A and B are shown apart, each in its own frame.
With several copies, the nearest count.
Chain A
């Protein structure tokens, strides 16, 4: 693979549909009836996957993602000998959309995984020191694998929600040291320490005809003039990723303050969904 980033073929959307979506936005509404700053319906299934150490399925309208956490033991990085590691991977398997061919993660998947990673990492949500087993020698590695099952826009916010929901529900296999070797006892589990008050979430805005919209559908993404994702944790901005288009300074200032406002509501929704301790199984 060569890291050559190429202007992407836009999905073919009939000109009429395109204009209709934009016109509705100009009239202060959206094609699916939502307000500009309203998220789609959110459904979260916590720990549906028995083979994972933690997992979640998130449905954001018709966008469906599943995240699973697996644990392994590694050597801490030299500059943080008393911390464990987080590795976030996102794949868009070809079942998610007619546009996707099978293959290793492309630049879009890599970007989303890296933004989700940064958002979680800088929020203080995970206590990385609690993942240390033997300083400088052994630490937990948390592998968060996110799979997109149906892509109807705003995968990044759904992916971040799924990752933090899965981590919230993660139980680590106990680590023991035998003959100077660390091993995991997968039958004995200890809870992963997370600080739910710092629950990190991303909020994605698009700009359409000078209006700002959150949680865009795929159609809305395709007619948007610009797109940006803000990672928020407890009122702090923990990541920003502008993708397409351009924004002026005032747009950004407005987006930042809107994202902090929306965050509180969104966090409450997510926390209420993930704290319901009912039996769960894989359903889509």
Chain B
């Protein structure tokens, strides 16, 4: 891109932050409008579309089902298989090549590890529960939106879970801690911290960070994320309650 332009944008974003403001007018602790839909794909056992502002992801769940090849199966529980992938047209500027990048491989892993603590894998030994995520439009916070979508799709599929996992990102620009980063804030900020919570139990199942954070800022960030996650969690329950009370029996355990 034109280096000058992006330099200008960076300056504006950072100047606003020094005044406690954000480029898109949100308050620091205000997440973008969230759109949640379940059952959007007829073939999948469960599916969901999640939008955090202009970030849009779709998730599908298949399973519990037979494992191929069989030697990957575990005798005492299900395996979880997770794939996070970005469509080539989902990023601004250059086309993203469709082959999995190192970034996508890492994110697939941390999403799997964010979901494993909630799924009752031990109920389905020797099977596989598969979560496939496609990012269709990326405006920051794609991995945490993906976790929320995966959670909804698992619930939509009737997979028993201990809790719903909700993903939220926090960031830092010029000492301002902000929630639910968009792409500009991610690109020109000083730190990014994606977090996922088991909301009812308050447990953290995904936590990553880059940038520079004081211990106190880490604490603030986690607490700000938890409040936003709680808000999204209530919307998730509404969406699931509307149509799926039956299948999410695990939620009311």
Contacts and interface: CB of A to CB of B under 8 A. Distances in A.
Interface string A240-264: 1111111111011100110010000
A185 interface: yes
A94 B215 contact: no
B90 interface: yes
B89 A145 contact: yes
Contacts of B74: 7, 9
Contacts of A95: 41, 44, 47, 58-60, 132-134
B125 interface: no
Contact of B219 (A1, A9, A98, A253): A253
Contact of B92 (A6, A108, A122, A186): A186
Residue among B43, B99, B202, B222 with most chain A CB within 10 A: B43
Contacts of A243: 110, 113
Contacts of A133: none
Interface in A133-188: 143, 145, 147, 149-152, 183-187
Contacts of A32: none
A237 interface: yes
Interface in A1-23: 1-7, 9
Chain B interface size range: 35 or more
A70 B109 contact: no
B82 interface: yes
A240 B101 CA distance: 21
A244 B80 CA distance: 13
A240 B110 CA distance: 12
Interface in A37-56: 49-52, 55
Contacts of A186: 1, 92-93
Given A246-B203, A249-B202, A284-B40, A7 B112 contact: yes
A145 B210 CA distance: 21
A236 interface: yes
Contacts of B91: 51
A98 B41 contact: no
B116 interface: yes
Contact of B72 (A9, A78, A79): A9
Nearest to B73: A9
Interface residues of A, number: 83
Contact of B137 (A51, A108, A123): A51
Interface string B87-108: 1111111110011111111101
A52 B51 CA distance: 17
A256 B219 CA distance: 9
A72 B132 contact: no
Nearest to A178: B2
A36 interface: no
Contact of A51 (B90, B110, B117, B222): B90
A52 B136 CA distance: 10
B200 to A, nearest CB: 12
B209 interface: yes
B146 to A, nearest CB: 12
A124 B190 CA distance: 12
A219 interface: no
Chain B CB within 10 A, most for which of A7, A94, A102, A252: A7
A238 B212 contact: yes
Interface of A: 1-7, 9, 49-52, 55, 62, 64, 66, 68-70, 72, 78-79, 81, 89, 91, 93-98, 101-102, 104, 107-108, 110-111, 113-114, 118, 121-124, 143, 145, 147, 149-152, 183-187, 228, 233, 235-249, 251-253, 256-257, 260, 282-284
